Structure 1
């Protein structure tokens, strides 16, 4: 081997001889996106002629072994060029020096990142690039494939985006490739199968899609293959069974399907096998030849059949995790085994019957045992009193529990079929028997239930929620004895401060006026059950209140909480992810599900089926719930009603009849417009068209008004009213309302952002369509700017309004569950509360505007000057047309005048034309004169420059809403987002040119 030198130095001066490694430590800076020669010129790098490099540049030649030298030969010009290109595509807060051919002999140390080189007799080569955990942005350039002597490439734990370069396949000396924990997209290049020297391949925790390339089966030297926690699909290729040197195969948490290849039985050196959290089916893997295996996890799939006896004869096995096997017939465990090194054994929900074998209690190393959710019978063997720390035998059919197990976390909830001994406690029985044992002779007397899961007793929307802050292990019955909970799983944590593990409490971050129920939550490692006892027979609606309050940090983005929700034994939600459904952490999301009670008991079961994050403390990735409400969907009866309840029902019936009569009279035009006082029914069930029981009292409404003010009752006892705004949609859209708005209404109601108007409710009827919104005291921005004394808006108010509506539009455009195009942004649709806080309204209706009577809408809006020029050529609004309208609004706010001003019948002046005629340094002349001496030059200049960019005639040049928010928040400059917009526009132009050339 030749001498090895590490770039950089160890603090010695230039006269010191370096015999081993010199460390190059470089600081990276954000590179340009030019072509290779252009980038070389910009970096001051001489771009080598590829033809002059010959085979030496393309096919690495062996380094000549030499004696120890006091210096390193220069790097080849090709490697200097490629290395500069690669490192300058990474974006960092600090700047890196350019790499020159003499860097191998550089003795100066730059604290930062490590790049290693190896010295030969005449030439040096780059052999290692290690840039992990540095918070790098950017992408991996194709030029990395032109560093032919590279042995180690480690870019893990950064924020790199883009795809994995195909050119990596040319690095024939590469032994380690670690790109894990980034944001890489695209597919896994098939060229990676050409890396004949590769031993360790780590691509886990990214967003990679597509199938696993079969070419990976050619990597005969491969020892570790980590592809878990991506979005890979398809089947596992048979060719992976040819990796005879493979030690670890991790494919968990993808979307893989089909059966496991039978060729995997050939992996005789395997020590770790992880495929949990996929959609794999068929039989479990054949492990007969896996004599060295230590870890097997196949949880959260659709595997079928029994657990083969060979699994219990793997002498090296330390952890075996199997769950949720699909079997038509239960099976029994073998009577004997050879698994003396086993530490953890999970066989949950596997249809296992019969008694627990004696050998399980005889495994001295076993500390964690989970046999829950099976149909085990008999008794617990005497041998179970071993060294185990945790044992879960819940939800089985044992005949009796006669053996106490001291100093053990033992979960025996619902583990017995009957109460046959003095040691069988009520909580050990199945739920029906449990209720009889706890409440003998009691008849049902409850028809609703409200639980603040994990928290104290509280009031929410006028309703009292029971406390659920018990931290007893595994189960508890409420003080009212009308409900209970149980959970299973182990947190693998010390037993002190157990409340930190069973319940979570955080400072409220939910943007909700009544958010007390979201400050706490109950969580469970595996299974969380709630039982509501003594309920009347009938139909009920169960509402689940969720908010992800545990995974709320930036570094939690790779952690997934995925679980199923069952009601009365029926799975209602599968692979439910709170954060995905809510759109972010610390955001409320509610789900209402109908069900039925026939035997006085309602069973709610939340179950972690092995999906989501299995690594990184999987014990905290199980079900989490903030609150549960159970409300009857039938007239309350069955017992003599109290006098006040009879009176309430009578009054409510009268009000409903009166409401219907007044609504009919109003629709028929029988009531005077100026004196109309009416009840508008808006609690309608949209799916079934049935009337609900919530009413709003209007203060003023006329047929020719599109919006009316009303009061909304939010308390079932009718003690709390709030003022709301009721928007009447045009009759010409009623056909589309039934098809489109009904489909969008639940999405709109779930949107909760401080800069978006809250949609409280809706009424969708044959002759009337109403949307009930949050009421804003100052009404629209248009009325404040143009219809009244605009001097009441200070500069601070106007700047905050600009920032607020930008954040509101960002919430729509960047919605994780799918962007929402507003389609009708104007000052009339920006509403202000009493403190001049701005909120966007009228969003979510773009489909209505674009689907029916489109031209008339365009014509009406165009006269106001808010629509982008390309709107006439499009079939529907886009985010770019939203940005254009948004820019017009910016101008009107800062300038204090409408975009379109008609000076005479023959002359109309547009503010937009005036703005685009000004040079940037003159824009401040356009600021509203009433703000002179008050506004801040930089803020006003930024807004006006943004307005010009937003209203550019070319849609691709307009800035992204996230960049606009960054400028207003001081995180980016105008020049930064301008260069990004131009780059994006050039990229689009280049793509278009390429397409034309191909045509």
Structure 2
């Protein structure tokens, strides 16, 4: 594409099996609008982007861009609209901008720091739109007045958490306040809610919009019905609606935690009723996300309602766990973009109602009752105090032995709790046909909850020597981190000796099953490269961005799961150990899987994030080669993947490592992946790159240094094990034996003389 130098408009969206950096765009100097949205673009924004001297609209939202904003970017004299929302951009806002730049969306990034002078008059200038929702800015009395309500819409959504929580709200999207069916719908008809904007209603709920219609001047973001809406007793709810060409989010702030029902009111009121002419064939297709989880993909209002002008109410059950609710309507890039109704292809919603799924306690003004309660409490206080002292030790001991959901959830962010009966029903009494695999803590089963959601249920083995402690660690750790490339924990169950974790269900199971022929999934080269890059991003987040920082300790192919789009998600944080910024390493009991263990960790228990880097290097070689790190049936020089990879590298035949089943691969990318993998498996941790640097090298933004030193563990150890004692289950074990679990089997290794024999 970099050779299309006469191109004036380039628009790419909704790519799932492709990744790229942005280096190619700087040759396209005739571009007036550039949209690469929802397309897995990674790396930094080029510093020489100002070479695009004619560029008016730049939309790079919903990608994986990282690094600071280039100083040249906002000074481009021709640029009018800039959309960089939903990336991983960091640093602060730039100190100045050009006068032509009118629409700026930087929402859902990692920006922080002080506000530059150019933002101060922004709210006094109706032609300037600036969306900074879901960043890390800090607010005082001065900048709160500059950005009213924005302090409530930063990443932790802090407002109303320390006040009496409310339990419901309703919004008339795109319209004035009205009462319908005894429900009061709040006004949400601000005409200022444009391409890059947000609005907050009484610190109770908010809305954020991002997106622009390039082909039409001054599009309206409110739709007014041209027709009578049918299939409803309340047509007034559907006379107008809020619409967006890109991304529309609604928030509930300060809700009481618990189960809720979200009702979304839809009706297609823009496209024509006629199906006999071309004007009647418009298609509006978007996705619906609740609390960050996609509940419906490719939602088409008129198709699901049965036609244009027909009311439709969609209900979703959700659990609020941190007093915060997010409803996201997202145009991924499908449907009608231009005709018959130019610019009317994105999300459209008429109203929203959020109602509790629990009994709301009423308030009483009866003085007698209040006084009675106070007197009763005071009278019982002394008894409670004495009895509490008696129970204190007993309770502490009971909690230590058995545990309960309340204490576990109190250690970190709150998550869903399930009863054992619920999970037993969901998994059909843990029937073997629902078994997904055997993890280090016990079996994992597929389950379908009462609300229809499919989940993966990890049943913690009662025989585990570290069950409860590691169970609590896993809950507190996983619930505190969220990333595209990490498996999400939905909830937990602990009843007596029963302990279970409930994860999101990944349709395509684990990477080792896809790579080594244990499933029907076939991985082409582009998918393999994206899996490698996505895994690197997940690890980089754990090592460098999450709080607390996390070392996984068991990075392997069976701990990388694949979703419906074959996006990788790292699983099983149960072996994770937390460390702070000041500690260079920690010595710990070795836990992991043979073949992926870094030498310093296997032999001395010396653990840093570089142990994960080593495991990633092994996985990267497995992805390239399509084979496990040890394969008994191969010739002796090929049995051990690391040994074979180095032999090929030293003889300048690295590409012979590529999986022969691939009919096509990109040599440059394969060479890059192999070179990076060999850097990651260096014997010395200091010679291994950090995962953030691995991302840069994979993306082509950082040059790969030549690997010259063959690791000592390969040159010193004898890999010609003619007796096959490495894998003999009857090999005597020493008293210092460590047990490590793979996805389906348990392997025992002996550590007795300061060295660890290596195998899979």
Larger radius of gyration: 1
- Higher relative CO (Cα under 8 Å, sequence separation at least 6) belongs to 2
TM-score (norm 1): 0.33
